[in-house]
Amino acid sequence: MKQKKTIKDFATNYDIKINESLFDIGNLKQKDFFNVGLEGLYKYPELVGTESEKEKYKKIMEIKEQVIMFYDYVEYFNILDDYNRLSLVIENNGISFDVDISIKIYIPKGRLLLKNDITIPSQNIIENINNYIEHFLKQEKVHHIEDYPDYNDNIDLDVNIPNLSYLNREFQEEKYKKDMKKYNSKISSRFLFDYYSSHDYDILKFHQNYLKHNTKNFLPCFLLFKEEVKEIKYEITSKHNSKMIKDTLKL
């Protein structure tokens, strides 16, 4: 039984003791039946045995699925943990508001992670990850630093999918495509910058419509790096400030 090996390997890895009786499903068998649907002839399995045997088998399958999900979560979050994240803040310490603010950030070439570089979670966990990924991508506001004001979250990410449950594999593949689209859309909704490249730098250009005086806010997303970055350069221009602000930030 493939399910037995998956569960026993997990128990061994995490020093969990399990009783062999867990896998005793009596005389339960699986029989394939055939039917004709809109897509033609298809096969579906059906369990043949007592109700208690079927219930036991379902419990074993649930445990196996939970084990697989656990490993998928570990793999995914280990990859995320390897990313270096940097949160940046812009501040208006003047006596008047400012508008049409442009921020350019110069990052040494080859260290930046762009949205297409971010790992995609497996089919087993992506639906749950979609509820989390935005929190990984941006700094949550605190009492003295505001959130980025120009997010556009009024995007309908739901796509209607016809019910293909009688063709489970095709249904799951279609659902995964939908979940990946949602995942990528959520990343794009936080990566609100234009990207440029020069010989020595990866260049990000952020825009902010308005910033009140004596106020500061986070930029829309963490900067993600493949490896350590020791310094970045930046330039800031705005409508009400005739001078460009330029400096180097040591990290």
Each residue's pLDDT tens digit, 29-41: 888 777 666 566 6
* pLDDT higher than 80, residue 164: no
SS3 107: strand
Last residue of a domain, one of 80, 115, 146: 80
Domain end (from 48, 80, 112): 80
Q: How many other C-beta atoms are found inside a 10 Å radius of the C-beta of residue 211?
A: 20
Q: How many CB atoms lie within 10 A of CB 72?
A: 17
Kindly tell me if the per-residue pLDDT of 159 is higher than 80.
Answer: no
Question: Are both 97 and 56 inside the same structural domain?
Answer: no
What pLDDT is stored for residue 39 in this prediction? Answer: 60
Query: Is pLDDT above 50 for 82?
Result: yes
Q: Which two tokens stand for residue 226?
A: 């493949």
> Among residues of the chain, what percentage have pLDDT more than 90?
72
Is the domain of 93 the same as that of 66?
A: no
Instruction: Please give the Cα distance from 247 to 103 (Å, whole number).
Output: 12
More confident residue, 46 or 81: 81
pLDDT, average across residues 183-212: 96
Average pLDDT over all residues of the chain = 89
Does residue 58 sit in helix, strand or coil? helix
Instruction: Identify whether the C-beta of residue 44 lies closer than 8 Å to the C-beta of residue 166.
Output: yes
At 42, the pLDDT band (50, 70, 90 cuts) reads low
Q: Output the pLDDT for position 37.
A: 60
Is the same domain home to 116 and 224? yes
- 72 with 116, same domain: the answer is no
19 and 98: one domain? no
Same-domain status, 75 and 102: no
Residue 70 sits in the same domain as residue 192: no
Whether the predicted pLDDT of 102 surpasses 50: yes
Q: Are residues 68 and 92 in the same domain?
A: no
> Is 70 exceeded by the pLDDT of residue 6?
yes
Residue 76 and residue 141 share a domain: no
Given 52, 80, 108, the domain boundary residue is 80
Q: Long-range contact list for 187-190, CB < 8 A, 24+ apart?
A: 187/115, 187/118, 187/133, 187/137, 188/115, 189/134, 189/151, 189/152, 189/153, 189/155, 190/134, 190/137, 190/138, 190/151, 190/220, 190/221
Domain that holds residue 39: 2-80
Residues 120 and 62 in one domain: no
The token pair that represents 129 in the structure block? 């990850």
**In this structure, are 100 and 23 located in the same domain?**
no
The amino acid that residue 42 corresponds to is Y
CB 205 within 8 A of CB 194: yes
Neighbour count for residue 69 (Cβ, 10 Å): 14
Give tens-digit pLDDT for 83-94. Answer: 999 999 999 998
The per-residue pLDDT for 152 is 80
pLDDT at 3 over 70: yes
Instruction: Give every CB contact of residue 127 below 8 A, 6+ residues apart in sequence.
Output: 179
Tell if the pTM clears 0.85, that is, is over it.
no
CA 169 to chain centre: 23
As for how many domains the chain has, the answer is: 2
**Could you tell me if 39 and 125 lie in one domain?**
no
In whole angstroms, give the CA distance from residue 78 to residue 76.
5
Percent of the chain with pLDDT over 70: 90
User: Which of the two residues, 229 and 167, has the higher pLDDT score?
Assistant: 229
pLDDT at 232 over 90: yes
